[in-house]
Structure 1
């Protein structure tokens, strides 16, 4: 069926806009590639009123090696899909256009033990609903979730189910909700010897077991970390499981709140993840100037897989609330002098988001 004049006009206008944007991105004398859509501001809408109906389709429209900021606006709705921003597509900003982060949700339900079409399993990292593998990625005002049903798959091995994985440098997450159960937010790097910095601000992170984990250098500030009951209704878990390389900083939680509707004294702040049994790692988790609810244990750090938290870098500073406590051998505190080096600026270095 031939398109109506109205549709032909709309399509022509869009193509003209794309062509103009392509010209702006090309170096003098460089011809546009016919197989790659130019980078422009894109709109995702389930009803077809935008430039794309899925988030991944909009990401696919950004050319590899893009050097200028591209904004992908996502209109309200639930987008059941997996999304990957590949490492060769930097400078993407993803923004939900709803009145709150809950109005735009990207969600899927893969787990570490879920079988791929080729018969293999996804593994923890591959289970992520959203994979941000490119530098200078930003996400704002939306929800990224993994709703894998652990109860329905009780006999399946591998219940880790990542909502968001970052594996790059200079990642900013602002006013987002990241929601899952086990292994919700994987803050990672391209490899062990590469720094990957992440700033999470004004956001909510939900989970129950090691739900903020990985080897990135990350600051979580002015945010809510919400501990949740496990799918079977039991209460208990771990907030952080950093796997930091010794030459980098790990996780810094500051000016935030750790809370949740769980049984008192059932959650650890964290434990050291020596990924792959690598004894040379030096996991780091710092929680400072943060409100701790009674969910937090009086001895807030614990061992993992035979590695003692006391051999790594875990400490608090001036936390408040029912879950806070006096310093001691089981609850190390930074001194005022030390605390001056444990700040967002020192953590992020030459990157000022």
Structure 2
């Protein structure tokens, strides 16, 4: 017997309801796309509970693995004392502070290389990071990453390296951020020794005193302030960068920036070569060009590290200014204008335009 029109309408409505329910179940499964669940507009972190999450890590956890397009996590003003990791299978995350300046949104923790984990082991330098960006195409804007490990309070502990931000992926963009720490503040790394990892940092501030910009990434730091700070004991002295570049890649390029700090004159090196693990095949590279150098910088700005001479690696300057700058000499290699055309952000970043 043919159903009546009323029964046909009820059956159609039931089938539609089942289809919608099935679609909703699929959209919330592990293979859901960011667009399916509306994440790009909905992820808001607020300590007071007025957002969708109260911690940054909880918001990251809500992003489905393998998201194919941009997901924005907006973080409202406050201090978020937590460690955060963006795993390698969650690319395209945009982390944005909603305050009027980077100081209004701070993500901070106090692990160090020598801090003991719950299982009794120690974190090590890389594992000490407050924030770990291990996925490609990560961006951060208008917030502060910090590590406030207290070296004085832990004077008897070995392993005082304490990372505020670690990147370990390709096409990382950081704009108008502050990266604040002491020893080993900013680790710009890659997923592997022979894997390319590019980082672009602009309009930002990086603070520290010993090897506080380090790692094997190909990184451009431009239009930024690099602030050398005194050691926790009040002494003055240290190193801005410690690249550990593989020979087939470019290393660190600092350009159109300022290197400054309220420290004793002539006490800071621009950098030294980090041959991680004693790997003699590495070819660390650090270039500082068109940058204002304060009197904090030594007249011989490069130095050796762990038995490896900086002269055997790739360190040079070009057209720097300020009281910390100086003419070409055996201790201060300078690029010629012709050579400098190969040391630009565009060359460094290749087919990626941030």
Normalized against structure 1, the TM-score is what?
Answer: 0.91
Residue 165 of structure 1 is matched in structure 2 by 166
> Quick one: distance in 2 between partners of 1:231 and 1:72?
34
Instruction: Tell me the secondary structure at the aligned position of residue 27 of structure 2.
Output: coil
State whether residues 139 and 176 of structure 1, in contact with CA within 8 Å, keep that contact through their aligned partners in structure 2.
Answer: yes
State whether residues 258 and 290 of structure 1, in contact with CA within 8 Å, keep that contact through their aligned partners in structure 2.
Answer: yes
Residue 72 of structure 1 is matched in structure 2 by 73
State whether residues 26 and 32 of structure 2, in contact with CA within 8 Å, keep that contact through their aligned partners in structure 1.
Answer: no
Residue 89 of structure 1 is matched in structure 2 by 90
> Quick one: distance in 2 between partners of 1:234 and 1:34?
55
State whether residues 159 and 182 of structure 1, in contact with CA within 8 Å, keep that contact through their aligned partners in structure 2.
Answer: yes
How far the C-alpha of 1:294 sits from its partner, in A, is 0.1
Equivalences for residues 335-350 of structure 1 within 5 A: 335-350=336-351
Note if 1:32 corresponds to 2:27. Answer: yes
Residue 240 of structure 2 is matched in structure 1 by 239
> Quick one: distance in 1 between partners of 2:304 and 2:111?
28
How far the C-alpha of 1:31 sits from its partner, in A, is 3.1
Instruction: Tell me the secondary structure at the aligned position of residue 102 of structure 1.
Output: helix
> Quick one: distance in 1 between partners of 2:116 and 2:33?
35
State whether residues 36 and 61 of structure 1, in contact with CA within 8 Å, keep that contact through their aligned partners in structure 2.
Answer: no
Q: C-alpha root-mean-square deviation of aligned residues, in Å? A: 1.5
Normalized against structure 2, the TM-score is what?
Answer: 0.91
How far the C-alpha of 1:36 sits from its partner, in A, is 7.2
Q: Which structure 1 segments of 5+ residues have no match?
A: 1-19
State whether residues 209 and 238 of structure 1, in contact with CA within 8 Å, keep that contact through their aligned partners in structure 2.
Answer: yes
Note if 1:288 corresponds to 2:283. Answer: no
Name the larger-Rg structure: 2
Residue 211 of structure 2 is matched in structure 1 by 210
Residue 110 of structure 2 is matched in structure 1 by 109
How far the C-alpha of 1:37 sits from its partner, in A, is 7.4
Residue 128 of structure 1 is matched in structure 2 by 129
1:109-166: CA deviations, max 9, x gaps?
0000000000000000000000000000000000000000000000000000000000
Instruction: Tell me the secondary structure at the aligned position of residue 31 of structure 1.
Output: helix
> Quick one: distance in 2 between partners of 1:264 and 1:74?
39
> Quick one: distance in 2 between partners of 1:91 and 1:174?
15
Residue 50 of structure 1 is matched in structure 2 by 51
